[in-house]
């Protein structure tokens, strides 16, 4: 009887300590929080809001956007690592996720503490300037920067952000000197250039395209290997005086590491359906974003390789 009692007690303890079983067919049962670690108005925020309604329909529950900017996305990312691993808090972030460990002493490990779900989309950045800057091409910008080193202010979304790395790589390869000015997110940095506080920026094409079309920003070059159909007259930076310069940003979904696989798969399947929706495809491509949707394992391998590659490049650029 004693052995039976001990066995029963042991089984009860195991049941209490083990993670609860999750049935994909009963998930979700309450709203899901999509935490964006950047300020409203940037490329990540624009894309998240573009797909949130369709995600709500695909998952059968409300998908709530929660902006938590700061320290180039590391503050919001840390909040997700601390969230309950129940599938009701996800991180929607950018390629800066793979840069940040090289710039900040983060409270999380980007490989161990978060689980890649899938990439929503990829998009080139766009080199833009304030219309008052007397340049109409990348070559003219390079000539002006070399004539007046340090006089041009270039905005970025914070140390370690996608805009920061895209800009730093451009300056490194172009061999020019400008003054880099950090802001608290892509939206604020773009406002700074439109107001004339700074003169240059390399934001996502999705966030800057409306302002280029309205004339509030002047586009000089795209960071992709080929020209984009949305702006056929805007050359690539690669063909405009900085050969070899190619940088494509991306936007993706991550979950706390302990979220059960059935939930990860359920969310991935929902995202896959959303990214095949004709309305979403039209909306994303209209903003210069290519829908992606890699399976979790494939995307995880990509993220890990990006972290290693950028660590090497950041050391080489002495950032």
DSSP assignments along 116-182, one per residue: EEEEEEEEEBEEEE-TTSS-SSHHHHHHHHHHSTTTSEEEESSTTSHHHHHHHHHHHHHT---EEEE
CATH 3.40.190.150 domain residues, the chain: 20-123+249-316
Secondary-structure percent of the chain, ordered helix, strand, coil, rounded to 5: 45, 20, 35
pLDDT of the residue at 149:
96
* 210: CB partners within 8 A, 6+ apart: none
Residue 107: Cβ within 10 Å count: 12
pLDDT tens per residue across span 90-130:
999 999 899 888 888 899 999 999 999 999 999 999 999 99
CATH 3.40.190.10 domain residues, the chain: 124-222
Between 158 and 293, residue with greater pLDDT: 293
Residue 297: Cβ within 10 Å count: 9
Q: Mean pLDDT of all residues in the chain?
A: 90
pLDDT of the residue at 9:
44
pLDDT of the residue at 11:
45
60, 274 contact by CB (below 8 A): no
Predicted confidence band at 23 (pLDDT cuts at 50, 70, 90)? Answer: low
- Domain 20-123+249-316 is of which CATH architecture? 3-Layer(aba) Sandwich (3.40)
**pTM for the whole thing?**
0.78
Structure tokens at 3: 């052995």
- Domain 124-222 is of which CATH architecture? 3-Layer(aba) Sandwich (3.40)
Structure tokens at 305: 């390789």
Between 254 and 206, residue with greater pLDDT: 254
pLDDT of the residue at 258:
98
pLDDT tens per residue across span 36-64:
999 898 889 989 999 999 999 999 999 99
* 89: CB partners within 8 A, 6+ apart: 32, 33, 35, 80, 83, 255, 256
Q: Residue 12 pLDDT more than 90?
A: no
Mark residue 142 as left, alpha or beta (left: phi above 0; alpha: psi -120 to 50; beta: remaining).
alpha
pLDDT of the residue at 24:
55
Rounded Cα–Cα distance for residues 189 and 171 (Å): 18
Q: What is the mean pLDDT of residues 182-197?
A: 93
pLDDT tens per residue across span 213-266:
999 999 999 999 999 999 999 999 999 999 999 999 899 999 999 999 999 999
Q: Residue 6 pLDDT more than 60?
A: no
Q: Residue 144 pLDDT more than 60?
A: yes
Taking Cα atoms as reference points, which of 149, 189, 146 lies closest to residue 166? Answer: 189
Q: Residue 139 pLDDT more than 50?
A: yes
3-state secondary structure of 237: coil
Please state at what angle helix 278-286 crosses helix 43-59, rounded to 10 degrees.
180
277, 284 contact by CB (below 8 A): no
């Amino acid at each position: 009887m004693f052995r039976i009692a001990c066995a029963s007690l042991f089984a009860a303890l195991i049941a209490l300590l083990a993670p609860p079983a999750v049935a994909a067919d009963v998930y979700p049962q309450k709203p899901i929080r999509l935490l964006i670690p950047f300020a409203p108005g940037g490329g990540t925020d624009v894309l998240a809001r573009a797909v949130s309604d369709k995600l709500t329909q695909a998952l059968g529950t409300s998908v709530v956007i929660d902006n938590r900017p700061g320290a180039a996305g590391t503050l919001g990312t840390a909040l997700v690592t601390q969230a309950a691993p129940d599938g009701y808090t996800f991180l929607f972030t950018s390629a800066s996720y793979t840069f940040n460990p090289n710039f900040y002493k983060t409270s999380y490990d980007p490989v161990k503490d978060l689980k890649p779900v899938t990439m929503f989309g990829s998009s080139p950045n766009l080199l833009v300037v304030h219309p008052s800057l007397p340049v109409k091409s990348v070559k003219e910008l390079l000539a002006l920067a070399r004539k007046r080193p340090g006089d041009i202010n270039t905005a970025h979304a914070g140390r370690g952000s996608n805009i920061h790395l895209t800009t730093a790589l451009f300056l490194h390869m172009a061999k020019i000197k400008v003054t880099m000015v950090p802001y608290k997110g892509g939206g604020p940095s773009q406002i700074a250039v439109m107001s004339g506080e700074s003169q240059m920026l390399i934001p996502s094409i999705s966030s800057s395209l409306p302002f280029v079309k309205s004339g509030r920003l002047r586009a000089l070059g795209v960071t992709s290997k080929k020209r984009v159909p949305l702006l056929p007259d805007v050359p690539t930076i690669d063909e405009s005086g900085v050969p070899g310069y190619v940088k494509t940003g991306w936007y993706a979904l991550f979950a706390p590491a302990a979220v059960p696989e059935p939930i990860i798969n359920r969310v991935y399947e929902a995202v896959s359906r959303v990214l095949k929706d004709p309305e979403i495809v039209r909306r994303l491509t209209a903003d210069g974003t290519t829908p992606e949707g890699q399976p979790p394992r494939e995307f995880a391998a990509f993220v890990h390789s990006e972290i290693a590659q950028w660590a090497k490049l950041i050391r080489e650029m002495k950032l």
